[in-house]
Structure formats: structure tokens, C-alpha cells
């Protein structure tokens, strides 16, 4: 069987496993939808002083899509791989003739597809319920930005597994890393309400840069409205660092042996 056929088989398996897991579907798919409904409904009539002033709903649609992409990639991969490692499934899979890259590629492919699905789902909800226009003319730039971010955060999620010692620690560690950065990066709290020092601190990390790059291509009123190469470069560099760490420290056997 060719490498592509093996990948396709593994990808189909990972898709089925994902959609048959209620916890994964809720936290990866439904949770971002719930957040968008809450933020857009509660603050929908307000205006935020971002990019010259926009409605809060127009701000939160790309913001929550950013969160959904990171949730489908970094968060989902880190948690699911640690669980599979500690259950011994990674060790058993590593002992089969299937190449290791096929297993990882299947997981990454599943995460990328879910991220693209969340883009469509949240964009449609924003358009239908809150009148936030879908920038069709910007769609190539939007998809490219999303895929760069998805690839980088997949690498970071795989690398993060090396720092998680057990199944029980997976969710607390991942959430402890991501939730504060969502607040500091402007995903939950608009830029105009964050102190400059907070923004400068958030600029160290990839979430802020991915959000800015995605926001600028999603919001038709943004200056330029094109690809934000500077922000994408920072995200890509973090992804390369994550890839190198994953190659060095990722393990297939449980921490207990």
C-alpha cells in the first residue's frame, strides 16, 4: 500500500474517532460556537475602537475563529496524543509496520479539516445571526492564513506533549497556557481595552500574531486587507521551533515505562 493510501486510511480513522467522541466535539466545535453567541449577544450593540472603530460582532467573529483554530490544532492534539500515549496506544501503533509519519499526518490532517470547518461554521453564524459580512474576495488570504496558523499550532501541540506527564495533567496544563493568552492577546478582550504593556507582552507569543494576521484578512475594513507577512512569519517561526522540539522530545511510550 502506498504512503498516500496509508495516510488516507489513517485520516478517515481519525475523522471517525473525532466525531464519535462527544467530549472532543463539544470542546472543539460547540464551545467556540457558544462563546461567539455569548460575546456577540451580550456586547453586540457596542463599538470597539479597533481599526478606526467597528461593531463588537465584527470583532468577535474573527476572534473566536482564531480560538477555534487553536483549539482544533494545538489544544486537541496535545490532549489527545497524551491520552493515547499514556493508554499505550502510541506504543502499540509504533510497533506496527505503519510508518510513524502516517500516524502523525492523520492526526494533523484531521485537525486542519476541523479548523477549516470551524471557519465556515462560525462565519455563517456571524453572517446569519449578527450580519457580519463574509469577505469572499479575501477567502484565498483567509484560508492561507488559517493553514499557516494551523500548521504552526499543530507543531506546538505535538511538542507540548513532552511537558505533560499524565492524562490527568493534560487538560489543566493546556488550558493554563492558552486561556491567559487568549485574554492577553485580545481574543476575549478587545485591543482598545488592554493596556499597552499587556499587548507588548502578548506580542512575544504566537496567538497574538495569528489573531492579528487573521483579523486583518477577515475584516474588509482593515488597513491593506492583505496578508500580514510579519505576523505570519512570527507564527511560522514558532511552528518551526515546535517542530524541532517535537522531533527531539516527542515520545511514543507512556511516562511510566
Please report whether residue 25 resides in a domain.
Answer: yes
Q: How many domains does the chain have?
A: 1
Cα gap 156→154, rounded to integer Å? 5
36 in Cβ contact with 128 (< 8 Å): no
Cα gap 116→118, rounded to integer Å? 5
Looking at residue 257, its pLDDT comes to 53
Range of the domain at 8: 3-249
Please report whether residue 254 resides in a domain.
Answer: no
Looking at residue 225, its pLDDT comes to 62
Looking at residue 224, its pLDDT comes to 56
Nearest to 123 by CA among 185, 214, 16: 214
Please report whether residue 257 resides in a domain.
Answer: no
Residues 6+ apart with CB under 8 A from 256: 86
Q: Convert the pLDDT of each residue in 195-207 to its tens digit.
A: 888 889 999 999 9
Residues 6+ apart with CB under 8 A from 73: 111, 112, 115, 149, 150, 153, 154, 157
Name the percent of the chain lying above pLDDT 70. 96
Helix (H, G, I), strand (E, B) or coil at 167: helix
Q: Convert the pLDDT of each residue in 162-184 to its tens digit.
A: 999 998 999 999 999 999 999 99
Please report whether residue 159 resides in a domain.
Answer: yes
Please report whether residue 9 resides in a domain.
Answer: yes
Using 70 as the pLDDT threshold, list the residues of the chain that sit under it. Answer: 1, 220-225, 256-257
Amino acid at each position: 500500500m502506498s504512503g498516500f493510501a496509508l495516510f488516507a486510511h489513517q485520516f478517515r480513522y481519525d475523522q471517525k474517532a473525532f466525531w464519535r467522541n462527544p467530549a472532543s466535539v463539544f470542546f472543539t466545535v460547540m464551545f467556540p460556537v457558544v462563546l461567539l453567541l455569548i460575546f456577540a449577544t451580550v456586547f453586540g450593540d457596542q463599538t470597539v475602537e479597533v481599526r478606526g472603530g467597528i461593531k463588537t460582532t465584527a470583532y468577535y467573529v474573527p476572534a473566536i475563529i482564531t480560538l477555534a483554530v487553536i483549539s482544533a490544532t494545538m489544544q486537541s492534539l496535545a490532549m489527545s496524543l497524551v491520552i493515547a500515549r499514556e493508554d499505550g496506544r502510541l506504543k502499540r501503533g509504533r510497533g506496527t509496520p505503519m510508518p510513524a509519519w502516517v500516524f502523525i499526518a492523520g492526526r494533523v490532517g484531521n485537525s486542519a479539516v476541523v479548523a477549516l470547518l470551524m471557519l465556515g461554521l462560525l462565519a455563517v453564524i456571524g453572517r446569519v445571526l449578527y450580519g457580519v459580512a463574509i469577505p469572499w474576495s479575501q477567502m484565498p488570504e483567509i484560508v492561507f492564513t488559517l493553514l499557516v496558523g494551523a500548521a504552526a499550532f499543530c507543531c506546538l501541540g505535538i511538542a507540548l506533549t513532552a511537558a505533560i506527564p499524565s492524562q490527568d495533567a493534560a487538560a489543566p496544563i493546556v488550558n493554563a497556557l492558552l486561556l491567559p493568552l487568549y485574554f492577553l492577546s485580545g481574543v476575549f478582550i478587545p485591543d482598545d481595552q488592554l493596556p499597552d504593556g499587556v499587548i507588548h507582552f502578548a506580542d512575544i507569543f504566537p496567538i497574538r500574531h495569528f489573531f492579528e494576521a487573521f483579523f486583518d484578512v477577515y475584516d474588509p475594513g482593515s488597513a491593506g486587507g492583505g496578508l500580514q507577512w510579519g505576523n505570519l512569519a512570527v507564527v511560522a517561526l514558532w511552528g518551526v521551533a515546535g517542530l524541532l522540539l517535537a522531533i527531539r522530545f516527542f515520545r511514543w511510550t507512556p511516562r511510566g515505562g
